[in-house]
Structure 1
Amino acid sequence: MKAWIGRNWKESAVFPLLMLLATAYVYVNACAPAGQEAPSAAAAVSENLLVQPKVIPAVNNLLNTSLVIRMQKWVQESTGFSRLGENSTPGPVLTLRTYGSPKPNSRLGGGATCATPDDQLDWTIPGPTYNVSHGARMLIKLNNCLPPVNVTDPGCSPTPPYNGDVPPNCFHGDDITNFHFHGFRVSPNPPQDWIYLKLRPQGSVPYNDPHNFTRIGSYQFDVDPLQDVQPVGTHWYHPHKHGSTALQVLNGMAGTFIVHGYFDQYLQRQMPGLQDKVLVVQQIREKLNAFVANGGGGQFYVNAQNNPIIKMNSGQIQRWRFIGATMQGSAHSEIKWNVTRKPEGPDMRQIAQDGVPFNTKNYQEERLNLARAVPALKKALFNRLPELKEDADALALAPEERPQRFLLGPGNRLDFLVQAPVVQRPTSFTLLAQRVTNLAPGEGSLAPINVSQSQPLLTLLVDPTLQPMRFPDQLPPQPWYLRDIENPIGPKDVFFSMDKGPGANPKPPNLMIDNHLYDPDRIDHNVTLGINETWVLKNNTSIAHPFHIHVNPFQVTNIDGVDLPQPWVWWDTIPIPILNTTTNTNGTVTIRQRFIEFTGEYVLHCHILGHEDRGMMQNVKCSAR
């Protein structure tokens, strides 16, 4: 029967009949356990079902809303985080910088201020999900209601072991904030995606800022209607004030933007009733701590929940949107199911990377899945992995039997179509996050990272009730602005490095790009609107620094000397392979960029946010011809 059905049996016209036959077939002929029977799963489900973030949609193509930032007390429970007093159970209490958004019945919309009482706001980790589409104008009023800053220049925060750092490349201004539209092709100029803003808390003393970046209390972002060059898909937001980005994201200040459009409409036509799940992966702590083993960020949470449960019927397909709202090197992870062979568990098909929909060829051939298709590339990214033999063994299997593995790092977004297997009785499957960074003390985290560490991200509970659905054979055609980039100029090298300092107990390393720490007064890259460029990202460190540039996504054409096939996949954040210590050669990623529509100044940086705060960032200026 397997030979007749072939690899694409789920797409066949007889799929409903096969689903009925497969119920008995899978149960009788399984060569290994497909998952864990869940006789008591119903009780567990009632305790920790996945909760979707609050949704605030644009109305008549206008998103008019506000955010208030205050310190809030949260209880760290076994199932995740809950706000103190809101049906919380005993557990450690953390004081976290938190987004509050107007309650639906408050009619505040964009009118919330620091005078708005707590009970008129929803305090959530993560922040609300904003739903927009092409043509939408976004008005977001950001209110900083954290404790006032009572000095003109707060200087570096007392954060051992970083006491030797020098402004501006140090942890500083913990309660000064701003807002970054990550993944958006919009103007980088005020009042749009202006990440140079330094928004001080309400009541702070004035500061004579020579750059005129400082505001006090509130700031009104006003983003022009989204143009058709904006990729439809999964994007996100987070603070980006240099010096406090890492701490504020670690406190849980992040959320999702979904840009709806032709891609969603196509999927709904192909799979009527397709459900959508937003999965914000975070590390949540009260304070930065680089000396805690395994990176100090602790475990991963999904929508502030510990191993939440998603329910699906046999054969059902859902769309899962993963947002890597993590901020440390230890967050580089391979996500995979707790089954050894693909047919025994859920089937995941990637449809987008970093918010940009795949070309049909990438969807059909799964070329992006570097962890499975080209294990050597994963070795180049992270090295010293005990899983490499497992990868080699997987390649010996038929493609439809290989275990599915995907890389999710800080800043990345992964979109999947996930199909539940056919089961005889309620069965649970666990999606694991296997950390793939292997660092010794002093290599960036300043504490050892255990590469063998894994943890459950979520549990899928599959019911035997049949809900037959089929994957689409192809994806809709990509629009013109996502065609492969041709005839670039270059290449231009961008070099990531660090120095560890002398001695047996070195100071924390300087984190540099092109051998310089960040300088707010220096333009590091001048680019021209309408010109395509090739850049070669180079890394001579033992950390896979995730490169991110604002405004324009890019295509990856080569990783560590291995050419990738066309059509190239679009990214906005990618880890650069580490230094090869055997040959003493730099890790490299070659990218192509197309600078379109928007002039102004913005940044590129390492998306390990403590590295960005401490100087691994550069300024880019895009000018008209």
Structure 2
Amino acid sequence: MWTKLAACTLLAQLSLSCAESATSCAASPGDEAASVAEHLLDVTSALQLGHMAGSQKVVTDTEGAGRRGLGRWWRRRAMGGSRGRRGMRRRVAYRGASYSYGRRPQQCPFLPKHQPLKDPVIVRASDGPITLELTTIQVCDPTAEVTTWYTRAYALPGQAATIPGPTILVKPGDNLTITIINKLAYPNPDCNQTRPAQETGSHAYIDPSVNPHQITGFCYVNATNLHVHGMHVSPQPGGDNVFEHWPPGTTNSLSVMVPPNHATGQAGGGQHGAVIIEDPPGLLPKEIEALPTRVVVLTLVDVQNKSSITGSSSPIIEQQSLGDLWQDPEGDYVNRFLTTYMLTNGLWKPSWFAEDHEWTRFDFVYAAVEYNVVIKALPTNKDGAYLNYAPRKVPSIYMASGNRASFAMRCGCKKSFVGRCTGSLVSHRELYSPGGGAATMEEFEDGPPSTSRAGPFADVGQKTINQEFMFIIVKQRPYSFKPKCDDLPYFAVERPCYLVNLTGVDVAPQNNGTLNLPAPQGPTKPQWQIIYWSNVTTPSNYSGEPFEDDSPPLQNWTLGEVHELWFRHSYNRSLPAAYQIAGIKQHPIHLHVTQYQLVALQCHNGTWITHGSCEPDVYFQVGDWHDTLMFGGGQARVRFQLSTFNGPYILHCHILSHEDQGMMTWFNVSGPEGTVWPGAEEVQRCYRGYFGQS
């Protein structure tokens, strides 16, 4: 339960104004704004912590075109699926060559609660090749320290494994080489060996009587590869290629040349970490460039005793894979009733010490394969791309698994406040306000994930995490201190040419397509874990199959062209259950190699928009760039360029249990390496080489 939330001003302004006689920024009107959050605050304050009480201002950036790099994230994939199907991603990492049951750590590595926020270890691509060891780490449930188990994680050579792994800093034009030494051990059961475990028992999800040839999902648990989620780099073998299979005991590398005009921002991934593409000097206004910046990796740990056709927790996946991690000291697979929690840079609810009334930039990476996060704060970018125009006033930050966001935040205390000035950052589901309209949250307290009933994630297929994840302590100034109440400037960055505005670009008919992702449900024939392709004139004429390692491409595309995809949502009761299409209401859709731009969005009421946002939910707007998208309206149209890199472009649902059971596909992009769409400069000013040099 949130106790003693003091008068701390979170994120940007609530119609802030400075008064010469005041020693703090005051809202207009102050007490009315504060009264909305009486259950959160023990003193009157101008702004709520963890809750929106009016318009808030934020510097924003969206998927791929960003700042000192919004995030991409890297993560290990354990290979999974029928006949060695593509990589299975884990929540918190993976298994090492040796471990010991029954041995308790002297202290849970995530504890104590509210210890100072620590940054992950930083390594730089410019310093040369980076080597990581894939091994094991002993961890615990911070809510019940006696429960311990081993999982998989990365370590720098000669150092202990950490969750998350190191943060990798990359400059546009760098050569990024990451070598993985897989120290995990055999056995490494294949899909034929693991299938019986997925057909029987309380957690079975394959029903051979309904579909005897249904693809399996979880196998090769100790094999791996590496994906740099959100980066615009080559997907060819040796690059960001998830078809590669790195067994235990082997050493392999990912090596890519980062384009000199790569968008800046974050990428992401116990087997994951942040990749920060640094901003070139002069890209941002000096006020934004000068902001102190913290990188925050949110790691989701799911040890609930649950399984269904639509999802499985980490211990259950380990059990179905015949793995021997995620077991308690007695050798039983971890079973914590209703236990799902987030770690913040590998810590349990750490404390951030904020300078009184000073702006700080946060680059968030949500390293997860299920569930959503709703953060009551102000964003500065989404999925590594700056907004077309920033800052944007938004009520909350909305991240499905794999999303990233940056936001600016400042906290302050009223002059009259006596005592410790504290607050919290939280994720919590949203409910309708009594008067309708804007979404509000119910009373703050930690609890299991639950369904949002309002906002952009209203009634989507993934529940929202309910947890405090960062404690805030404001360093109070002397009584005579006069705070600054300056706004952050509005700005529009110059964009790399592969991310110019495509909302007004005509797309050739042959480059329009429809993606259909069926609704999660019980066993169907054919199975629902599949991505269908159809054209826009006859969208119910499906083609596609559950993904396996020998699956053909869903379509063949050509470099140097613009494409449009319709993420479709359609329930037609005249069709069999397997063809009820859920779209982005049930599935966060992730595309490798390039971001995509929203050009049309269906709102919750069924209305399509081609500009602006579905009021009052302004976080998702037409024109924004993403590489992973979930939205309660269920449908969107997106456009993107096929630029520079040929090879397999992977597209999949970002929910682990969906993709590893077959909800994944790929597009074969051909053409000479380096081919670009020639129309970019006609749309807007952009750069193809280093920023400021072309």
Q: TM-score when scaled to structure 1?
A: 0.69
Counterparts of 1:475 and 1:54 in 2: how far apart (Å)?
32
Alignment partners' CA distance in 2, 1:459 and 1:152:
44
Instruction: Look up the equivalent residue of 1:522 and give its one-letter code.
Output: P
User: Post-superposition shift, 1:456?
Assistant: 1.2
Is 2:373 aligned against 1:333?
Answer: yes
**1:428 counterpart letter in structure 2:** T
**Hey, what's the Cα distance between the residues in 2 that align with 1:64 and 1:452?**
38
Paired position in structure 1 for 2:488:
472
Q: Residue 599 of structure 1 aligns to which amino acid in structure 2?
A: N
Check 1:134–1:56 CA distance in 2 against 1; reply closer, same or farther (3 A cut).
same
Contact 1:317 1:419 survives alignment (8 Å): yes
> Could you say which structure has the higher helix fraction?
1
Task: Read off the aligned partner of 1:95 and give its amino acid letter.
Answer: Y
In structure 2, the CA distance between the partners of 1:470 and 1:602, relative to structure 1 (3 Å rule), is same
2:254 to 215, 218, 221: 221
Structure 1: distance between partners of 2:528 and 2:154: 32
What is the Cα deviation at residue 137 of structure 1?
A: 0.8
What amino acid maps onto 1:416 in structure 2? F
Matching of residue 527 in structure 1 with residue 557 in structure 2: yes
Q: 1:407 to 1:295 in 2, by over 3 A?
A: farther
Residue among 386, 406, 409 paired with 1:357: 386
Return the offset for 1:462: 2.1
Q: CA separation of 1:320/1:31 partners in 2, compared to 1, >3 Å: closer, same or farther?
A: closer
CA pair 140-31 structure 1, distance change in 2 beyond 3 A: closer
Question: Quick one: distance in 1 between partners of 2:272 and 2:121?
Answer: 13
Which blocks of at least 5 consecutive residues in structure 1 are unaligned?
1-6, 39-43, 80-89, 103-119, 203-216, 239-251, 337-347, 370-403, 441-447, 579-586
Secondary structure, aligned partner of 2:340: coil
- 1:154 deviation in Å? 5.9
Q: Once the two structures are aligned, what percentage of the paired residues are identical?
A: 20
What does residue 513 of structure 2 align with? 492
Q: Hey, what's the Cα distance between the residues in 2 that align with 1:334 and 1:510?
A: 28
Secondary structure of residue in 2 paired with 1:20: coil
Unaligned runs of 5+ in 2: 1-12, 44-110, 314-338, 431-448, 453-459, 533-543, 570-580, 603-607, 613-620, 673-694
SS in 2 for 1:611: helix
Distance 2:655 2:428 in 1: 18
In the other structure, the counterpart of 1:383 is none
- Structure 1 position 318 matched with structure 2 position 347: no
Relative to structure 1, the CA distance from residue 152 to residue 499 in structure 2 (aligned partners, 3 Å threshold; closer, same or farther) is closer
1:71 counterpart residue number: 136
Query: Which residue of 2 is the match for residue 597 of structure 1?
Result: 644
**Residues 1:134 and 2:172 aligned together:** yes
Residue 204 (structure 2) aligns with = 161
- Kept in 2, the 8 Å contact 1:293–1:449? The answer is no
Task: Output the amino acid matched with 1:541.
Answer: A
SS in 1 for 2:425: strand
Distance of 1:508 and 1:72 partners within structure 2 = 40
Q: Does 1:192 align with 2:239?
A: yes
CA contact (8 A) 2:652 2:665 kept: yes
Question: Helix, strand or coil: the match of 2:657?
Answer: helix
Helix, strand or coil at the partner of 2:363: strand
**Does the C-alpha gap of structure 1 residues 365 and 27 become closer, same or farther in structure 2, counting only changes over 3 Å?**
closer
- Decide which of 450, 456, 473 is 2:468's aligned counterpart: 456
C-alpha contact 2:588 2:628 (8 A) present in aligned 1 = yes
CA distance in 2, matches of 1:509, 1:290: 18
From 49, 56, 70, give the equivalent of 2:116: 49
Deviation at 1:332, TM superposition (A): 1.7
| Contact 1:550/1:602, CA 8 A, preserved across alignment | yes
What SS does the corresponding residue of 1:262 show, helix, strand or coil? coil
The CA deviation at 1:123 is 1.1
Which one-letter code corresponds to 1:279 in the other structure? V
- CA contact 1:438–1:449 (8 Å) conserved in 2: no
Residue 619 of structure 1 corresponds to 666
Cα distance in 2 for residues equivalent to 1:264 and 1:308: 33
Tell me the distance in 2 between the aligned counterparts of 1:610 and 1:72: 23
- Going from structure 1 to structure 2, the CA distance change for 1:290 and 1:263 (only over 3 Å counts) comes to farther
Q: In the alignment, residue 72 of structure 1 is paired with which amino acid?
A: I
Q: Deviations over 1:148-174 (max 9, x none)?
A: 246677643524313548585411111
| Other structure's SS at 1:124 match | coil
The verdict on how the C-alpha distance between 1:266 and 1:470 changes in structure 2, with shifts beyond 3 A counting, is: farther
Kindly provide the CA deviation profile for residues 341-400 of structure 1, in whole angstroms up to 9, marking residues without a partner as x. Answer: xxxxxxx5422110111222xx2444xx5xxxxxxxxxxxxxxxxxxxxxxxxxxxxxxx
SS in 2 for 1:193: coil
Residue deviations 1:408-435, cap 9 Å, x none?
1101001101121343343222222124
Q: How does 1:20-59 map to 2 (within 5 A)?
A: 20=23, 22=25, 31-32=34-35, 36=41, 47-58=114-125
Cα deviation for residue 231 of structure 1 reads 1.0
Structure 2 residue aligned with 1:428: 422
Matches within 5 A, 1:239-388: 252-262=270-280, 266=284, 269-270=286-287, 274-285=291-302, 289-290=306-307, 296=313, 298-328=340-370, 331-336=371-376, 348-360=377-389, 363-366=390-393, 369=394
Q: Which has the higher strand share?
A: 1
Name the CA distance, whole Å, in 1 between partners of 2:501 and 2:474. Answer: 40
Give the CA deviation at 1:619. 1.1
